[in-house]
Structure 1
């Protein structure tokens, strides 16, 4: 990559405390590269640790929303927040987790026209409202999600994932963190279902 990863200092993984270096190594071993967001945040180890802990608490826990649904929330709300990094990175993860090479692009460009189930559309509609107009959330919004089959814990997760990535979107945009080139091609070779 010839362009800067971030407008702020970027340090090597080898300079990190052992616990963070080990966590990033697991990610790197699985994906084949270190996502730039971790390299860009590494100059602030305590913040990176807190970021990774909260990310994992929301995105990696068992039960409730599927991993594809979680990524769909990130892609839709990151698009609404004009966050190139998160749309590209989490779009790749969504393609892989949904086993659908088209879904991330559809959701990022216009989720209303995407090939979503009624459950997914209700989830994304709520997430977008949390991202852009959280002050207007009312009982009717929660009732619509319950009608779509979501539990109270899942509704909390939709809101919490949206809020966390709202913060992430703003950090990434403020720091001008570039998506890794590798993200652009991930999950695009999945056969299209007829």
Structure 2
């Protein structure tokens, strides 16, 4: 990428995000304390996830780090399932990981690794689409419709008894959380910042089993969702609600749909999303955001220049598109952690 690249200038506006992403990668792929999940085996799992997503360059990166190492089949099976369909996660799957030799530290490290690579896949797909479409693509209406199917019809929640709601829900972990009073100094440091800067809860305490990546992942999340300027906060919340609905993540959908309602003062868009999925938004800009978020969620490799052009025609500027890509990418991470390590409860 040349020094004059507009995309490079865009990325410079979110330089901290790049730094935090690299730090999280290094913490997971070159950990100081790998425990029962060695670095080379982590890279082998990451290679499989990247290959599954169709990103050959990312797969080659991890293949080089693996240096010929193989991963335990149970770990690969788990990574494939959580990548393809995180909604199909069950508590007994963690038991299979324990039987394969992982402890709580290793299970959380694997969970973070799966989520990280899914984040990377969507971020890289978004950057590629932005780089491929010149700003002039926004002019005119001749662009071909993007390739790849978009989800149609009413979305299906993981837990039909709860369903999609803006009610306040709780989250029940499938691993025993770290006891805060017994946390190590490293765990306490990683817990000093929490997602959305809320009180320390069960989710953060489960992730604290593996503090090296948590130290960087939480500031990365907050930096993406609450960065100044760029895409409006309400639109970031809406995009992540779209992704959470498509992934069936009842808990995440409730949190971020509710924040959208609080920020906008209206709930019609959320009610439509819960009932009809991504179709039927009456605001063209919001509809374009919903469609781009859906494509990046379900088929990131299919995100194309035409998607970027559609967003531009709806009035979404390139810096806002970058923020949209980042928000969807970080919720590919968040949804997979929430769905594979616990469940929503009332």
TM-score (structure 2 length as normaliser): 0.45
After superposition, the CA RMSD in angstroms is: 2.6
Q: Point out where structure 2 has 5 or more consecutive residues left out of the alignment.
A: 1-169
Alignment partner of 2:193 out of 8, 15, 23 = 23
Distance 2:172 2:241 in 1: 21
Does the 8 Å contact 1:94/1:103 carry over to 2? no
Alignment partner of 2:178 out of 3, 6, 11 = 11
* Residues paired across the two proteins, number: 173
Does the 8 Å contact 2:231/2:321 carry over to 1? no
Does the 8 Å contact 2:242/2:273 carry over to 1? yes
> Closer, same or farther in 2 for the Cα pair 1:150/1:94, shift >3 Å?
same
- Report the CA distance between 1:46 and its aligned residue: 2.4
Give 1:133's aligned residue: 299
Distance 1:59 1:175 in 2: 22
Question: Does residue 86 of structure 1 match 2:259?
Answer: no
SS in 1 for 2:203: helix
Distance 2:215 2:201 in 1: 15
Does the 8 Å contact 2:191/2:200 carry over to 1? no
SS in 1 for 2:344: coil
Q: Which has the larger radius of gyration?
A: 2
SS in 1 for 2:224: helix
Give 2:204's aligned residue: 38
Q: Which residues in structure 2 correspond to 1:140-159 (within 5 Å)?
A: 140-159=306-325
Q: Deviations over 1:99-129 (max 9, x none)?
A: 2244434323323234x42111111111100
Does the 8 Å contact 2:240/2:328 carry over to 1? yes
Q: Which has the higher contact order (CA 8 A, sep 6+)?
A: 1
Give 1:120's aligned residue: 286
Tell me whether 143-152 or 68-77 shows the greater mean CA deviation: 143-152
Distance 1:164 1:144 in 2: 22
Question: Does residue 54 of structure 1 match 2:224?
Answer: no
> Closer, same or farther in 2 for the Cα pair 1:122/1:49, shift >3 Å?
same
Tell me whether 72-81 or 97-106 shows the greater mean CA deviation: 97-106
Give 2:17's aligned residue: none
Q: Point out where structure 1 has 5 or more consecutive residues left out of the alignment.
A: 182-194
Distance 2:258 2:283 in 1: 20
> Closer, same or farther in 2 for the Cα pair 1:139/1:4, shift >3 Å?
closer
Distance 2:196 2:237 in 1: 20
- Report the CA distance between 1:43 and its aligned residue: 2.3
- Report the CA distance between 1:173 and its aligned residue: 1.0
Distance 1:99 1:35 in 2: 27
TM-score (structure 1 length as normaliser): 0.76
Give 1:162's aligned residue: 328
> Closer, same or farther in 2 for the Cα pair 1:99/1:44, shift >3 Å?
farther
Distance 2:222 2:171 in 1: 27
Question: Does residue 69 of structure 1 match 2:199?
Answer: no
- Report the CA distance between 1:146 and its aligned residue: 1.0
- Report the CA distance between 1:41 and its aligned residue: 1.8
Does the 8 Å contact 2:244/2:252 carry over to 1? yes
- Report the CA distance between 1:7 and its aligned residue: 0.8
Distance 1:26 1:166 in 2: 17
